[in-house]
Copies of this chain bind each other. A is one copy, B any other.
Amino acid sequence: MNLGSVEAVFFEYLQERGLRQTPERLCILRRVYAMNGPFTADTLLDDLRNSQNPLSRATVYNTLELLLECRLVAHHQFGRFGSYYEKSHGRRQADHLLCTNCGRIQEFCDPRLHAIMQDAGQALGQRIQHHQLHLHGVCHLFESTGQCPHFESSKADPSSSSQPMH
């Protein structure tokens, strides 16, 4: 789970595939692992632009793709305009609950999902590789008071999803 082992995984993957170990790729990997919570490609790009080491959009997308392939990064698509990435090494697969009202994204993990995946795969003749579960709901607080402490503030900041997994 430390950065060194993550870098080792990445480099091993690159080597296996005959891909090159470039400073840009390392830089992106480090930035990604410095993020906490889900982030957008644009956020990452901005983050890099503000650093001493600005990189191009193409390189960011290219590298994210590689990181997805070697499972160091996970991708979540929330609706049409909610494309988020997230470091994933050593993390258990998490699911997401989105608030329809304030846009906050919370994470959770339920072990029972495993059985469902297994059975569905078996029933439909597929080996399941991964999954994605999105719940859409409304904060109780909003329903009772009409107010929500997360409104707007977290709409653009899904990193507030400090995983209260159960």
Contacts and interface: CB of A to CB of B under 8 A. Distances in A.
Size class of the contact patch on chain A: 35 or more
A88 interface: no
Interface in A93-123: 95, 97, 99-100, 106, 108, 110, 112-113, 115-117, 119-121, 123
29 contacts: A77-B77, A95-B120, A97-B120, A97-B121, A97-B128, A100-B129, A106-B124, A106-B126, A108-B123, A110-B116, A110-B119, A121-B135, A123-B164, A123-B166, A125-B139, A125-B140, A125-B141, A126-B137, A126-B138, A126-B139, A126-B140, A127-B137, A127-B138, A127-B140, A128-B136, A128-B137, A131-B134, A131-B136, A132-B132
A21 interface: no
A143 interface: yes
A164 B124 contact: yes
